[in-house]
Amino acid sequence: MADEMKKKFDSDSAASLVKELRRTFTSGKTKSYEWRISQLKNILKMVDENEKQIVEALRKDLSKPELEAFVSEISMTKASCKLAVKELRHWMKPEKVKTSMTTFPSSAEIVSEPLGVVLIISAWNYPILSSFSPVLSLDPVIGAIAAGNAVVLKPSEISPATSSLLAKCLEEYVDNSAIRVVEGAVAETSALLEQKWDKIFYTGNGRVGRIVMAAAAKHLTPVILELGGKSPAVVDSNINLKVAARRIISGKWGCNNGQACIAPDYIITTKAYAPKLIDALKCELEKFFGKDPLESKDLSRIVNSNHFARVRKLLDDDKVSDKIVHGGQRDETSLKFAPTILLDVPNDSLIMNEEIFGPLLPIITVDKVEDSFDVINSRTKPLAAYLFTNEKELKEEFVRTVSAGGMVINDTVLHLSNPALPFGGVGESGFGSYHGRFSFDAFSHKKAVLYRRFVGDAAARYPPYTPKKLRL
């Protein structure tokens, strides 16, 4: 069925798909606790029973190392699903709130109501979990189901093995009258975007984010945009350098070889400290990936030749080609690209003006570490920002003055794995958030309900508005 849809999915097919799912939603089926919990358990079972196939699909799409596939996709998706199963009753419960004198006597509550039929468009880098993995696709789906919606998932065509595995598995494990996968690229996504949805959740780049938002505006459809940007890491000098270097490497090259939305995009440190930092990065890189990283089994490859050419162009720019202090090796046939560090790249170079989304790490230097906050704030707001320091005041100033979707002090990317934290961007890095309870809320309408009785009816609120009533 997935193959069939891929070949001939057009506006008419999209319209009839939405109609079918809307019929299911209107029947009330997806709203019950029992339906939601059974679908969530089926997704858990699906991931459990298909672990090997998921690892293999991720290997085909990205040569993702097995351990990375387990940690960043399979175990995170399972954790997300288990949390939803455990907390669903609590999340669905109306929240009692205070009332005011104006409504006395009354009671009030906030009721979480499913939105209807929602569309989730995901990116290729974490195709499972959510927007940056094949598994990445499943995280918002889990939220949409937990909130009681019917849902269409459009995985990325750039990770085809994962996309087709997801389509096949979801067709087999979940209720197809309410949960569907549409495979395809721009034509299929455009056909889907013409339809009226009750929410669109998009993960990917800002250019397409704008297309999604414009399409949604026609139907007044709310959107969540999970975009990217240049996420900085500021490195102070009074730190445990070895640990910091390992954590930077893990967040950069240990996450899809830099093809992750929250991978550190560039580093800011002082002129004096840069040489020490570079030495530490080189030393730990060699320990992790060996003397010839192109041969390493622990580094993902670049996803395809277009992205390979894009990364190469960033490095071959005349303004930066003499700034490489480590790496630079690549092999176009295998799409392997070595971890590469550059020092003091100019502000107007391509690499400092585009999201790198690959294995290149420029370091820019400042006189005082505090100056780095102005550098960050002079650019568009990033999805993540990192700081390595032991100075309490510096940590506080960073949190207070730097605007970013999320931040981690003394590590990288790990905020993503805490479901108690909302995950999402701000400004150019997107808006709206998800993960854990935030995913449930992202796909719910918060309905305000006020309960009154017939007793205590105050005459003062009704006309005629006599002077006596005005004085009350």
Supply the minimum distance, in Å, between the C-beta of residue 416 and ligand NAD: 8
Question: Closest Cα to residue 380, out of 406, 344, 404?
Answer: 404
Any catalytic annotation for residue 172?
A: no
d(CA 212, CA 227): 12
DSSP-assigned letters across all residues of 363-427: EEEESSTTHHHHHHHTSPPPSEEEEE---HHHHHHHHHH---SEEEESSSSGGGG-TTS-EE--G
Site for ligand NAD in 181-200 (CB under 6 A): 185-186, 189-190
Given 17, 158, 181, 384, the residue binding ligand NAD (CB under 6 A) = 158
Chain residues 395-414 in contact with ligand NAD, contact rule CB under 6 A: none
Which residues lie across from 326 on neighbouring strands? 341
Residue nearest to ligand NAD (CB): 228
Please identify, among the stretches 75-83, 156-164, 331-339, 456-464, the one whose residues bind ligand NAD according to the rule CB under 6 A. Answer: 156-164
Is 402 within 8 Å of 377 (Cβ atoms)?
Answer: yes
CA-based nearest residue to 364, from 61, 374, 415, 140? 374
Instruction: Select from 25-33, 119-127, 244-252, 441-449 the region that touches ligand NAD (CB under 6 A).
Output: 119-127
In whole angstroms, the minimum distance from the beta carbon of 395 to ligand NAD comes to 24
Annotation says 261 is catalytic: yes
* Interaction of residue 203 with ligand NAD, rule CB under 6 A: yes
φ/ψ of 246, rounded to 5, equals -65, -40
Closest CB 381 distance from ligand NAD, rounded Å: 12
Q: What gap in Å lies between CA 135 and CA 25, rounded to an integer?
A: 25
Whether residue 159 contacts residue 124, with contact meaning beta carbons closer than 8 Å, is answered with yes
Output 163 or 349, the one with its CB closest to ligand NAD.
Answer: 163
| Contact between residue 414 and residue 386 where contact means Cβ atoms under 8 Å apart | no
**Contact in structure between 202 and 208 (CB atoms under 8 Å):** yes
Among 151, 166, 227, 360, the residue binding ligand NAD under the rule CB under 6 A is 227
Minimum CB separation of residue 335 from ligand NAD in Å reads 15
CA atoms of 308 and 305, how far apart (whole Å): 5
Q: Which of 116, 430, 432, 436 touches ligand NAD by CB under 6 A?
A: 430
144: contact with ligand NAD by CB under 6 A = no
Q: How far is the CB of 121 from ligand NAD (least distance, A)?
A: 5
Question: Contact, 401 vs 375, CB < 8 A?
Answer: no
Cα–Cα distances in angstroms (integers) from residue 248 to residues 221, 283, 339, in the given order: 39, 13, 12
Please pick, among 73, 183, 188, 226, the residue that the annotation labels catalytic.
226
Position among 261, 363, 404, 442 found at the interface with ligand NAD (CB under 6 A): 261
Rounded CA separation 26/19 (Å): 10
Q: Which is nearer to ligand NAD, 148 or 155 (CB)?
A: 155
Our CB check for ligand NAD shows the closer of 65 and 358 to be 358
CB of 277 to ligand NAD, least distance (A): 24
Residues 321-340 that bind ligand NAD (CB under 6 A): none
Q: CA torsion 329→159→121→54, rounded to 10°?
A: -120
Candidates 115-123, 291-299, 321-329, 441-449; binding stretch for ligand NAD (CB under 6 A): 115-123
End-to-end CA distance of the chain: 69
From 261, 284, 355, 428, the catalytic residue: 261
* Shortest Å, Cβ 300 to ligand NAD: 14
Instruction: State the residues that interact with ligand NAD by CB under 6 A.
Output: 121-125, 131-132, 154, 156-158, 185-186, 189-190, 203-205, 208, 211, 226-228, 261, 355, 357, 383, 425, 430
Please identify every residue annotated as catalytic. Answer: 226, 261
